[in-house]
Amino acid sequence: MGQEIDLLKNYPKTNRNVKNRGVTKSEEDRAIAREFGKEFFDGSRDHGYGGFSYFPRFWQPVIPTFKDRFNLTESSSVLDVGCAKGFMLYDLVQILPGIEVKGVDISQYAIDHVIDGMKDRVQVADAKALPFEDESFDVVFSINTVHNLEEKECAKALQEIERISIQNSYITVDAYRNDVEKERMEAWNLTAKTIMSVKNWTTFFKDIGYTGDYYWFIP
Return the CATH number at 122: 3.40.50.150
Alpha-carbon radius of gyration of the chain: 17
Give CA–CA dist 184/189, Å, rounded.
9
pTM: 0.95
Q: Does residue 91 fall inside a structural domain?
A: yes
Residue 112 lies in a domain: yes
Q: What is the mean pLDDT of the chain?
A: 95
Q: Per-residue pLDDT for 1 more than 90?
A: no
For residue 20, name the pLDDT band (cuts at 50, 70, 90). Answer: low
Question: What are the helix (H) ranges across 103-150?
Answer: 108-112
pLDDT tier at 104 (50, 70, 90 boundaries)? Answer: very high
Percent composition of the chain: helix, strand, coil (DSSP 3-state, to 5):
40, 20, 40
For residue 191, being part of any structural domain is answered with yes
Give the residue, 219 or 162, on which the prediction is more confident. 162
For residue 80, is it within any domain? yes
Domain-embedded: residue 141: yes
Would you put residue 14 in left (φ > 0), alpha (ψ -120 to 50) or beta?
A: beta
Number of domains in the chain: 1
In a domain? residue 184: yes
Q: Give pairs for 24-32: CB < 8 Å, separation 24+.
A: 25/187, 25/190, 29/190, 30/189, 30/190, 30/191
- Examine residue 171 and state whether it is found in any structural domain, yes or no: yes
For residue 66, being part of any structural domain is answered with: yes
Structural domain that includes position 126: 57-217
- Torsions phi, psi of 158, nearest 5? -65, -35
Give the whole-number percent of the chain exceeding pLDDT 70. 95
pLDDT for position 19? 61
